[in-house]
């Protein structure tokens, strides 16, 4: 029977990234979750720049950028009238290689 060196309880983003990193370092992991399978609803829509930076080290960022959608701005409406426009296209300029808002559903991350 295969033995694991680390048991990770919880297969959310924290547990999955920990499992990825430990596996990359050659550590045998077992990950368990109280749910029977992957989630079918998303609790995260926008991927943050720091997450993309971390994913880049795991060679995941290109696929996520190709399959997701970059959001240039959000338009706020009040009672049918345009009230404000929030530009997002360069919100992290000079801070990150990914200075934008990127939409990629969390439930799709496991497909990368
Ligand atoms: C409505 C909403 C929208 C959000 N939108 C965004 C967004 O757009 N972008 C973004 O970056 N973040 C977003 N977040 C935050 C993001 O979802 C959380 O930061 C992230 O889910 C935290 O991951 P986690 O692995 O720490 O916890 P969780 O995602 O809660 O995962 C914990 C896992 O552990 C399992 N578990 C718990 N207890 C046990 C146990 N005793 N035994 C076995 N398994 C157990 C659970 O079943 C679950 O699968 C949003 C959150 C919410 C609620």
Q: How far is CA 23 from CA 6, 29, 53, 64, 75, in A?
A: 10, 7, 19, 21, 42
Q: Which long-range contacts (CB under 8 A, 24 or more apart) does 18-23 make?
A: 20/58, 21/58
Shortest-distance atom of ligand 1 to CA 16: 25
User: CB within 6 Å of ligand 1 — which residues?
Assistant: 9-15, 32-35, 43-46, 48
Cα 12 to ligand 1 centre (Å): 5
Residue nearest to atom 34 of ligand 1 (CA): 10
Summarised one tens digit per residue, pLDDT across range 3-46 is: 889 999 999 889 988 998 999 899 999 999 999 987 777 777 88
Query: Which residues are CB-contacts of 100 (< 8 A; sequence separation ≥ 6)?
Result: 49, 70, 71, 88, 89, 90, 91, 92
The helix (H) or strand (E) run that includes residue 76 is strand 73-78
Residue nearest to atom 7 of ligand 1 (CA): 44
Phi then psi dihedrals of residue 52, to 5 deg:
-65, -35
Residue nearest to atom 6 of ligand 1 (CA): 44
Cα 33 to ligand 1 centre (Å): 12
Torsion (CA) 97, 101, 102, 106 in degrees, nearest 10: 110
Summarised one tens digit per residue, pLDDT across range 57-75 is: 988 899 999 999 999 999 9
Residue nearest to atom 3 of ligand 1 (CA): 43
Summarised one tens digit per residue, pLDDT across range 81-102 is: 999 999 988 888 999 999 999 9
Q: How far is CA 78 from CA 17, 32, 70, in A?
A: 40, 45, 24
Q: For the full predicted model, state whether its pTM sits above 0.85.
A: no
């Amino acid at each position: 029977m295969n033995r694991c060196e680390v048991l990770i309880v919880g297969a959310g983003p924290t547990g999955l990234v920990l499992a990825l990193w430990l596996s990359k370092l050659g550590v045998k992991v077992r990950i368990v979750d109280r749910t029977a399978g992957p989630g079918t609803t998303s609790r995260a829509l926008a991927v943050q720049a720091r997450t993309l930076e971390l994913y880049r080290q795991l060679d995941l960022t290109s696929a996520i950028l190709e399959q997701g959608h970059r959001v240039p701005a959000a338009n706020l409406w009040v009672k049918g009238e345009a009230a404000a426009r929030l530009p997002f296209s360069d919100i992290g300029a000079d801070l990150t290689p990914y200075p934008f808002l990127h939409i990629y559903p969390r439930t799709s991350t496991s497909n990368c």
